[in-house]
Structure 1
């Protein structure tokens, strides 16, 4: 089970009226329990039991935390000091949480590279979410100044993917 799948489950459980959730698949066990609202001053939070993995290959490299701690720091870190992130550059942001791919398939060339001239409706990458491949367009006419993520990297909603020097 991937961290992203755990995050999705957390969102669903947190937004629902259920108080406890257990899931087991191929040796992976996930159990979540919302804290009770006995004390009105403490907000309800989703608790995560450490997933148990059948082998080391399935184990994620990061330890899950509260959902708000998983997403916000990533976006803040990656947008804080982008090189050349001034008014001459347009940031192409990820419209969703998913996996970034620079080419339509592993055996094909990347859609764009640094220095590639692009038009607003030109496809620059793909973000795969839940087995759906979503084409990402340049949004502006210009030149790719920087590619901010690596092929196969997990990306968050709103995370900058490219810097484009607008015409």
Structure 2
């Protein structure tokens, strides 16, 4: 789905041009714009979803409203990034399988938040087709975030741990 900023930019470009009708498709989303009597009609549609149609008059007030929305969104994104944990590297799953955080159900976990790891430290096991594959950190540092839980199905490339390098 297109972001509000992207739709706003498209509206401005269409308004400034002699184009009266415009259709754009990306990732299963279609946006259609038509000029009529000084307004732009924005229709955004996703596959297998009912058509959403909205008429947006291109006026000074709508541009001001969009800027206020964008300011609020950027403030929210900024507050999210301030609360996020600082990390340098993500340890990702090299395969699809079941994640195990300990060598056996009775054992302690390999690593947890705050654990120090070396490049050869085993951080978890991913079971794939009855084979248990030990996953090493491949970096020296400290685990700052654990992103997957014991017994969880993980995908290839899925982040499992975040590490702050030392």
Higher helix proportion: 2
Normalising by structure 1, we get a TM-score of 0.49
Normalising by structure 2, we get a TM-score of 0.49
**Structure with greater Cα Rg:** 2
